[in-house]
Amino acid sequence: MPGSSPCMLEKPHTLPPEEAARRLGVNPATGLSNEEARRRLEICGPNVLETGKRKGFLEVFLEQFKNLFVLMLLAATVFSFYVGETVDAVLILAIVLFMAILGAVQEYRAERILEALKKLASPKARVLRDGRIVMVDASEIVPGDVIIVMEGDRVPADARLLEAKDLYVDESTLTGESVPVHKKADTILPEDTIVSDQINMLFSSTYVVRGTGKAVVTATGRNTYIGRIARMVAETRAEKTPFQVELDRLAKRIAAIVVLIATLSFIIGYVFQEADLVDLLLTSIALAVAAVPEGLPAITVIVFSIAAWNMARRNALVRRLAAVEALGSASVIATDKTGTLTVNEMTVRQFHTPDGRVYITTGEGYRLEGGVFEGDKQVTAESSPLLRLAGLVSILNNNAELENGKIHGDPMEAALLVFAHKLGMDLTQVKKEYRRLREIAFSSERKRMTVVVEGPEGLLVLSKGAPEIIIERSTSYMTIDGSEKPLTDAEKTKLLEQVENIAGKGFRVLALAYRRGDKRDLEASDDVVESRLVLLGMVAIIDPPRPEVPEAVRRALEAGIKVVMVTGDHPSTARAIAEMIGLPRGRVVTGQELEKMSDDELKRIADEVMVFARVTPEHKARIVRVYKELGHIVAVTGDGVNDAPALKLADIGVAMGRRGTEVAKEAADMILLDDNFATIVAAVEEGRRSFDNVKRTVLYLLSANIAEVATVFYATIKGIGTIFNAAMLLWINIVTDGFPAAGMAFEEAEPDVMKRPPRRRGQAILGKPQFTYLLLLSTIETVLTLSFYHLYAAELSPAHGRAAGFLALMYAELAQSMALRRLNTPLSLKIIPSNRQWLAGYIVGAILAAISVTVLADLFRIGSLSPVDIALIFIVSHVAVLSFEEVRKRLGLHV
Ligand code: ATP
- Note if the pTM is more than 0.75: yes
Mutation to probe ligand 1, out of 337, 396, 397, 442 (largest number of atoms < 8 A from CB): 442
Cα(603)–Cα(584) distance, integer angstroms:
18
The 8 Å CB, 24+ separation contacts for 485-492 are: 487/354, 487/535, 491/354
Tell me, what amino acid is at 845? G
pLDDT of residue 233: 37
Q: Are 303 and 745 in contact (CB under 8 A)?
A: yes
Q: Which stretches of 314-402 are DSSP H helices?
A: 321-329, 385-396
**Cβ–Cβ under 8 Å, residues 598 and 552:** no
The proportion of the chain whose per-residue pLDDT surpasses 90, expressed as a percent, equals 58
Q: Which residues contact 249 (CB under 8 A, 6 or more apart)?
A: none
Residue 341 CA: nearest ligand 1 atom is 3
User: Which one, of 778, 702, 817, 802, lies nearest residue 283 by Cα?
Assistant: 802
H helical segments located in 272-295: 277-291
Give residue 224's pLDDT. 87
The residue contributing the CA closest to ligand 1 atom 12 is 568
Å from CA of 574 to ligand 1 middle: 12
Query: How many angstroms separate the Cα of 450 from the Cα of each of 165, 210, 261, 397, 651?
Result: 16, 15, 77, 6, 37
Quick one: fold of 316-342+547-675? Rossmann fold (3.40.50)
How many A from CA of 443 to the centre of ligand 1? 8
CA dist., res. 278 & res. 286, Å (int): 12
Collect all residues with Cβ–Cβ distance below 8 Å to 773 and sequence separation of at least 6.
Answer: 699, 703, 888, 893, 895
pLDDT in tens, 484-502: 999 999 999 999 999 999 9
CA-proximal residue: ligand 1, atom 19 (nearest): 466
Domain 347-542, CATH homologous superfamily name and number: Calcium-transporting ATPase, cytoplasmic domain N (3.40.1110.10)
pLDDT of residue 3: 43
* Domains of the chain, residue spans: 12-51+116-235, 240-306+691-890, 316-342+547-675, 347-542
Question: What are the mean pLDDT values of the chain's consecutive 10-residue runs (895 residues total)?
Answer: 67 93 93 94 85 72 77 79 80 80 80 75 88 91 94 91 91 76 92 88 89 93 78 44 76 82 82 75 72 71 85 87 88 95 94 96 92 95 96 96 83 96 96 93 91 95 97 96 95 96 96 96 94 97 95 96 96 96 96 95 96 93 95 92 88 90 86 93 94 90 88 82 82 81 85 89 81 94 96 95 96 95 88 88 94 93 95 97 95 89
For the chain, give the mean pLDDT. Answer: 89
Residues 599 and 612: their CA atoms lie apart, in Å, by 15
The predicted-structure confidence for 32-63, as pLDDT tens digits, reads as follows 999 999 999 999 988 887 655 667 888 888 88
Catalytic residue among 88, 170, 336, 569: 336
Which mutation among 333, 343, 397, 412 tests ligand 1's pocket best, with the greatest number of atoms within 8 A of CB? Answer: 412
CA of 567 to the centre of ligand 1 (A): 9
Mutate to test the pocket of ligand 1, among 444, 507, 541 (most ligand atoms within 8 A of CB): 444
User: Are 341 and 545 spatial neighbours (Cβ–Cβ below 8 Å)?
Assistant: yes
Query: Can you tell me the distance from the alpha carbon of 304 to that of 329, in angstroms, rounded to the nearest whole number?
Result: 14
Question: In this structure, which residue's CA is closest to atom 23 in ligand 1?
Answer: 447
Q: Which atom of ligand 1 is nearest to the CA of 398?
A: 27
565 Cα: distance to centroid of ligand 1 (angstroms): 15
Q: Taking a C-beta distance cutoff of 8 angstroms, is the pair 600, 644 a contact?
A: no
The total of other beta-carbon atoms located within 10 Å of residue 253's CB is 10
pLDDT at site 528: 96
Residue 706: count of CB within 10 angstroms of its CB: 21
In the prediction, which pLDDT does 230 show? 56
The predicted pLDDT at position 240 comes to: 65
Predicted local distance difference test score (pLDDT) of residue 105: 83
For residue 510, which atom of ligand 1 is closest to its CA?
20
Which of 677, 687, 683 has the alpha carbon at shortest distance from 583? 677
- The CATH number that domain 12-51+116-235 falls under is 2.70.150.10
Point out the ligand 1 atom lying closest to the alpha carbon of residue 567. Answer: 2
Residue 92 to residues 287, 328, 741, 815, Cα–Cα distance (Å): 13, 39, 21, 26
- Fold that domain 240-306+691-890 belongs to in CATH: Calcium-transporting ATPase, transmembrane domain (1.20.1110)
Q: Is 336 a catalytic residue?
A: yes
Of 164, 157, 150, the closest CA to residue 37 belongs to: 157
Residues contacting residue 854 through CB under 8 Å, at least 6 positions apart? 864, 865, 870
Residue nearest to atom 31 of ligand 1 (CA): 465
The pLDDT value recorded for residue 582 is 96
Ligand 1: residues within 6 Å at CB? 336-338, 410, 412-413, 442, 444, 447-449, 464-466, 510, 567-569
Nearest-atom index, ligand 1, CA of 574: 3
